[in-house]
Amino acid sequence: MRRLAVLLLVTGALATRAATPVDFDHDIVPILRQHCAECHTGDKKKGGLSFNTRESLLRGGEDGPVVKPGDATGSLLLKAILSRDPDEQMPPKGDRLTEAEVAKVRAWIGGGVVWTDGFAFKKPAYEPALRPRRPQLPPTRGGRTNGIDRILDAQLATQHRTRPAPVDDSTFCRRVHLDLVGLLPEPDALDTFLHDRRADKRTRLVHRLLTNDIAYAEQWLSFWNDLLRNDYAGTGYIDDGRRQISSWLYRALLDNKRYDQFARELIAPTADSEGFSRGIRWRGVVSAGQAVPVQFAQSVGQAFLGINLKCASCHDSFIDRWTLKESYGLAAIYADEPMELYRCDKPTGTMATPGWLFPELGQVDPSKPSAERLRQLAGLLTNPENGRFSRTIVNRFWHRLMGRGIVHPTDAMQTAPWNSDLLDYLAVHFADHGYDLKATLELICTSAAYQSRTELLRPGQDDKGYNYAGPRAKRLTAEEFLDALWQITDTAPARYDAPVVRGHLDPTAKAAAQWVWAPVTNGSLPAAGETVTLRRVFSLPSQPTTAGAAVTVDNSYTLYVNGRKLRSDDNWETVEFIDLSTALHPGINEVVLRAKNGGDAPNPAAAYFEARWRLPDGHTGSIGTDGTWSWTHAKPNDEGRVEDAGADWQPAAVLDSATWRDRTAAGISTALAQALLAERPRVRVSLLKSDLLQRTLGRPNREQIVSVRPSDLSTLEAMDLSNGPLLSNRLAEGAKHLAERPWASSDALIDWLYRSALSRSPAKSELELARKALGEKPDAEGIEDLLWVVCLLPEFQMVR
């Protein structure tokens, strides 16, 4: 049974298109411009053939199609290029293509005629409006009052097409759970929803899911990590060529930070949020297009405006109207030093002038230092008159929930939307509601459009233009797929990698620790650069169920717990909250804090650490810096151990001045106890470093911004998924967990599994097959086979 399911999965994946080995923008476009443009681009269509867009090329000319994607030898275009007949050869005059150029065209056709989204040889006449537009809503039809439905109902009526039918309750329940919080509805919760007879139960469910702050934050963390290219490991994190924004981002999502403020803090950053604007400082020699200021321009343009400045970072864009000068102008806002323009990686001798892309809204002052220019840019980008800012994010959310953007692709916002009223309505609703991301999600999810049956797609359906016919099914993300397996089998790991504290901080919590440092004499101050090692050893009777710590040092520190480096920070104005649930263990525990005093002259220095934990029996405990801590100047090794046998450990000095007491009250006591002791839900995949299985399922490496993940499973991915040991081992582990439960019968297990995974009971035929797999008494081997069958079903792997 398992093999049959795997075979079906692999067979379906074989239809995916092979990747092209040539670069369309830099290999193919120049060839077509030189040899084909004179007769077949712009308004010229010799023989009825236009190369303006991929669609027009594939339509062919008066004699029919000239290109067969994936079949170079069968394409008339290549035959004409190779022909020596003066009546057939292409181009008919001028230089013929070189052998290298012919090879590129052959590879391009064989690779599927890949074409950069949004590119056209003839510039489109469409230019998106800059300022917001408030469309007039059409009259209500059939009692559907949601503004989305009023707009779409009017469009369908104009096109004489029927509205998509509503989806049933169980499908809606599964869909909205996965979309908003990334988790399957538990069978009991599903039953409660299905038996609810209130007319507004779907609206109530949407609202309840959005108020589950932890689940919401940990679902959407992956979306924003992709879009802001943030991760927990990878290129640049070890050598300080790149910095995380994980703690800042998690807290912004948990608190539902206003999106305009969210963007301002990324563009004119704090110490916690600078990782986005800083980008990646690549090691070794890099091209001009990879310089950090140029990365900044590309990232701001793509993430917040949905425009592609990567092409315009090398030359004037082939794709849309953006120029090299404009791209470098945006980059120069970030740069600390004057920037010279590089065209195709060659210096031009022209210096960039710091400038914003839309001067109609104002302009940055190029004479100001970069920090002030960034603040000005942040204000211009989030100016309420910049309608592009709000349109871009609501379009991304529409794509995420409905399976296709209103402007598509989502990073081609220079492209005309298929319904401009819908896009503008969502954008002004978003701004009217204080740039509240959850308000937009709620608006979409409570619409009849979202609650409709998914559209059945035919191959090539959108080739001649998109027509709305309901939401589209979406592939589970890597995180959603694995979270679902862990949820069903209860096999989530105990620890996670993201440097965040899960859950809200308690504003009523009181600090219990004290500020400490090495003793000073005669009222003198610690020397600038003085570095001390602080240590505390304590014992625990059992493994804590939850534990956390708050730490800050004036000026910087590195924290080790039980031989493991947990955190470093050089911003004395912030307090870091650190999860210790898996760092502590029964028996002897050791906390080591390597603390450094900064500055250029002797100045006050102090360290603060407080940890709290809860044990399985409900008892709680804590330790904090005080006179029981020891200090030495000896330096710990990479594991936080002081190996110097001659280290002179002395009692730490408690700093009891009013200055330090005030700082404790203002900086720490407002946010500690419950946050560190609260029970947490199971660990989510979004909090983990990537692994092979996640990459197989589509999680990107995040060295580049990724706004949309692949919608199809490639052949190699399907084979790795079905044969790889990572998934196999997890299903085997999950089967053992399920086998240990006291099931009343095989039927009870089968029904529970189908309801957990698919939000429905098994069909009669499914039940009979599952009974054969399990036998009368379910064992781990039979359960594993059944798990394989269910998790490889398209119905499980899709949000439908």
The pLDDT assigned to 144 comes to 94
> What SS3 class is residue 347?
strand
- Please enumerate in sequence order all residues whose Cβ is within 8 A of that of 50, keeping only pairs 6 or more positions apart, or say none: 40, 41, 44, 56, 57, 59
pLDDT of residue 575: 74
CA distance 422 to 149: 9
The yes-or-no verdict on residue 58 having pLDDT over 80 is yes
Rounded CA-CA distance 475/120 in Å is: 30
Strand, coil or helix: 561: strand
d(CA 715, CA 710): 13
- Residue 679 has a pLDDT of 60
| pLDDT of the residue at 465 | 83
Q: What is the 3-state secondary structure (H, E, C) of 525-538?
A: CCCCCCEEEEEEEE
pLDDT at residue 4 tops 60: no
Conformation bin of residue 562: beta by default, left when phi > 0, alpha when psi is -120 to 50: left
Average pLDDT of 501-510? 67
292-348 pLDDT, tens digit per residue, is 999 999 999 999 999 999 988 998 887 778 999 999 999 999 999 999 999 999 999
- The number of CA neighbours under 13 Å toward the Cβ of 32 is 25
| Digit-coded pLDDT (tens) for 401-430 | 999 999 999 999 999 999 999 999 999 999
pLDDT for residue 601 is more than 90: no
pLDDT at 15 over 60: no
| Residue 576 per-residue DSSP state | E
Average pLDDT for the chain: 88
**Rounded CA gap, 447 and 478, in Å?**
27
* Mean pLDDT, residues 707-715 taken together: 84
Least confident of 217-226, 596-605, 635-644, 728-737: 596-605
Question: Sign of the CA dihedral 755, 758, 760, 765?
Answer: negative
pLDDT bucket at 11, cuts 50 / 70 / 90: very low
What does the pLDDT average to over 720-732?
82
Asked whether residue 14 carries a pLDDT value surpassing 90, the answer given is no
**Which long-range contacts (C-beta less than 8 Å, at least 24 apart) are formed by 308-314?**
308/118, 308/411, 308/412, 311/25, 313/288, 313/289, 314/288, 314/289, 314/342, 314/343, 314/344, 314/345
* Helical axes 437-445 vs 201-210, angle rounded to 10°: 150
Alpha-carbon distances, residue 676 vs 27, 506, 568, 671 (angstroms): 55, 9, 19, 9
Helix (H) or strand (E) holding 557: strand 556-561
The dihedral of CA 791, 707, 472, 196: what is its sign? Answer: positive
Instruction: Determine the pLDDT at residue 211.
Output: 96
Three-class SS of 408-472: CCCCCCCCCCCCHHHHHHHHHHHHHCCCCHHHHHHHHHCCCCCCECCCCCCCCCCCCCCCCCCCC
Task: Tell me the whole-structure pTM to 2 decimals.
Answer: 0.78
The tens digit of pLDDT for each residue in 738-775 reads: 999 999 899 999 999 999 999 999 999 999 999 988 88
Residue 25: DSSP 8-state: I
pLDDT at residue number 657 = 62
Cα separation, 542 vs 616, in Å, equals 8
Q: Is residue 590 within 8 Å of residue 605, measured between CB atoms?
A: no
Q: Model confidence over 522-551: pLDDT tens digits?
A: 667 888 889 999 999 999 999 998 888 888
Residues 6+ apart with CB under 8 A from 367: none
